[in-house]
Structure 1
Amino acid sequence: MSGTPDRPAPGGARVNGVELRELHSIEELKEVFRLFDDIWHPAPGSAPITVELMRALSHAGNYVAGAYRGDRLVGASVGFLAAPVGRVLHSHVTGAATGRGIGFALKLHQRAWALERGLERITWTYDPLVRRNAHFNLVKLGALPEEYLPSFYGPMADAINTGDESDRMLAVWRLSQPRVLAAVQGEPHRPPTPPQAVTALAERDGRPLTGPTDARTLLVAVPADIETLRRADPGAARAWRHALRDVLGALMREGARVTGFTGQGHYIVERTA
């Protein structure tokens, strides 16, 4: 990708053999719709976004972009300008083929797009139980969660989320902070686990086990693969959802801050007082 972390690239770019560009035409947006359908397999009427809405967002100057390998669309992202005006892009939905660096390439393009327009941060929501997403957002990108949102989308009818509640974490990517500048240059954000940290939520035999939550520094575990667990043991998956909400959600409501994510799958949480 042309440009540097402080000097954004133009609208079209190439990263690791992936071409990234903004999308505008109906045919391009239909490709995005089909890609998202292949990823989420939503029930009829439950698509994450429609072609018509993408067209309107694109025409109004919002972010709609695709990642291509040759002529094949392998990833896409849709976002819209958010409050406060002139400072924030909210990334509503991103889908990409896994394990090929496409998601990271899309985020670099999205960041360049935002910086080019004078924006300071990008926000998005993710399922806090999905370990690989937490690792990608907190470690690889240097974003941090700033709000726990219980049942944010209500019931969701798709192959990934059906049968679970839609708790989400609001991730905030502060585009010019040192940890983000390092992350986009390939230096992941891996703060050391404080030796005095106390485990507030652990895993035992596949199920959550709660511990004390009154220490200054806490570790909050998530399962290795919640999506597989939902299919294999729905009861255990629900127990994890409620345990994480009760522990991490409560800590964040009380003002505690998530400061990192460990290689063992724990959120690092710091009480501020």
Structure 2
Amino acid sequence: MTGPTGSDEHAEAAARAAEVRIAELSELPAFEEVFRLFDDIWHPDPGNPPVTVEMMRAFSHAGNYVAGAYRGDRLVGASVGFLAAPVGRVLHSHVTGAATGRGIGFALKLHQRAWALERGLERITWTYDPLVRRNAHFNLVKLGALPEEYLPSFYGPMADAINTGDESDRMLAVWRLSQPRVLAAVQGEPHRPPTPPQAVTALAERDGRPLTGPTDARTLLVAVPADIETLRRADPGAARAWRHALRDVLGALMREGARVTGFTGQGHYIVER
């Protein structure tokens, strides 16, 4: 079956490249596998898992998105999402986790895109930590999504091995499924807009810590650290300084109406006022 704009073909090609088979899930044993996989990835507090078996069961039964990526018989990735407002136009991708490397996450997102397009949906949204450089690169460059809202302390305190000790600021990524940059990205052409030569650095890194600059230029560059997750463990004070600096600079710019238009290879958000 061929989905809109060749979405099925793109999803199948990504799955082949990652050497996985992706399928929707509907049975309790599969949901239990997903629960264990997510537990291995995030090591959450037992009382606060990313999603429960019961919730996956309810989502799937109600027609929402629950899918797993398999290499042979082994589950190596999964994604859970639900239909969101406005009705009939949006899927919100609540949680996606995968083994590192080999394109499993990309394959899952393209399967999710094909699923959404086949149901007439226009976009997929999700949240991510704006300080995690590899996630910003994946979302903005690899997929062609763009952030449209900065959400301070979105989840409140989070008790897991990755986020403990940090505030849960998030960026709302919006994947507009049929825009030209997305169509190019799903065909293997990453979204890498050129950095305007007149861009001014509003947030830079100096000796591992954030350094703020002017924010009144038309085009701004906002840096994130190379590896915030390691920094949280090695220097919690520096990690907190980055969190507050990014919130004060990027969060304020977006509240004022500035738009993030890309992400550079050097780890800067490109922001247009």
Scaled to the shorter chain, the TM-score interval is over 0.9
* Aligned match for 2:11, one of 5, 9, 12: 9
| Structure 1 ranges of 4+ moved more than 2 A | 5-16
Query: 2:12, 2:191 → 1: CA distance?
Result: 26
The 8 Å contact of residues 8 and 111 in structure 2, kept in 1 or not, is answered as: no
Q: Which residue of 2 aligns with 1:260?
A: 262
Query: 2:44, 2:148 → 1: CA distance?
Result: 28
Measure how far apart 1:81 and its partner are: 0.1
The 8 Å contact of residues 11 and 107 in structure 2, kept in 1 or not, is answered as: no
| Alpha-carbon spacing, 1:58–1:12, altered in 2? closer, same or farther (3 Å) | farther
Q: Which residue of 1 aligns with 2:231?
A: 229
Query: 1:216, 1:223 → 2: CA distance?
Result: 23
Deviations 1:13-62 (A, max 9, x none): 75532100000100000000000000000112010010000000000000
Query: 1:263, 1:11 → 2: CA distance?
Result: 26
Query: 1:69, 1:111 → 2: CA distance?
Result: 21
Query: 1:14, 1:31 → 2: CA distance?
Result: 22
The 8 Å contact of residues 15 and 104 in structure 2, kept in 1 or not, is answered as: no
Measure how far apart 1:5 and its partner are: 3.5
| Alpha-carbon spacing, 1:9–1:226, altered in 2? closer, same or farther (3 Å) | closer
Measure how far apart 1:126 and its partner are: 0.1
Unaligned runs of 5+ in 2: none
Query: 1:67, 1:220 → 2: CA distance?
Result: 34
Deviations 1:171-202 (A, max 9, x none): 00000000000000000000000000000000
The 8 Å contact of residues 54 and 78 in structure 1, kept in 2 or not, is answered as: yes
Query: 1:198, 1:13 → 2: CA distance?
Result: 40
The 8 Å contact of residues 14 and 107 in structure 2, kept in 1 or not, is answered as: no
Bigger mean CA deviation after superposition, 9-18 or 187-196:
9-18
Query: 1:11, 1:137 → 2: CA distance?
Result: 19
Aligned-partner SS, 1:231: helix
Query: 1:99, 1:54 → 2: CA distance?
Result: 25
Deviations 1:119-162 (A, max 9, x none): 00000000000000000000000000000000000000000000
| Alpha-carbon spacing, 1:87–1:21, altered in 2? closer, same or farther (3 Å) | same
Measure how far apart 1:70 and its partner are: 0.2
The 8 Å contact of residues 11 and 21 in structure 1, kept in 2 or not, is answered as: no
Q: Percent identity?
A: 90
Query: 1:10, 1:29 → 2: CA distance?
Result: 23
| Alpha-carbon spacing, 1:230–1:8, altered in 2? closer, same or farther (3 Å) | closer
The 8 Å contact of residues 2 and 13 in structure 1, kept in 2 or not, is answered as: no
* Aligned match for 1:185, one of 148, 162, 187: 187
Q: Write 1 or 2 for the structure with the bigger share of helix.
A: 2
The 8 Å contact of residues 29 and 51 in structure 1, kept in 2 or not, is answered as: yes
Query: 2:11, 2:241 → 1: CA distance?
Result: 44
Query: 1:11, 1:132 → 2: CA distance?
Result: 23
The 8 Å contact of residues 12 and 22 in structure 1, kept in 2 or not, is answered as: no
Query: 1:12, 1:23 → 2: CA distance?
Result: 19
| Alpha-carbon spacing, 1:13–1:6, altered in 2? closer, same or farther (3 Å) | closer
Aligned-partner SS, 1:155: coil
The number of residue pairs the alignment matches comes to 271
TM-score (norm. length: structure 2): 0.96
| Alpha-carbon spacing, 1:2–1:67, altered in 2? closer, same or farther (3 Å) | farther
The 8 Å contact of residues 98 and 104 in structure 2, kept in 1 or not, is answered as: yes
Query: 1:11, 1:101 → 2: CA distance?
Result: 11
| Alpha-carbon spacing, 1:196–1:12, altered in 2? closer, same or farther (3 Å) | closer
Query: 2:239, 2:142 → 1: CA distance?
Result: 26
Measure how far apart 1:225 and its partner are: 0.1
Measure how far apart 1:6 and its partner are: 8.2
| Alpha-carbon spacing, 1:141–1:8, altered in 2? closer, same or farther (3 Å) | closer
Measure how far apart 1:9 and its partner are: 6.5
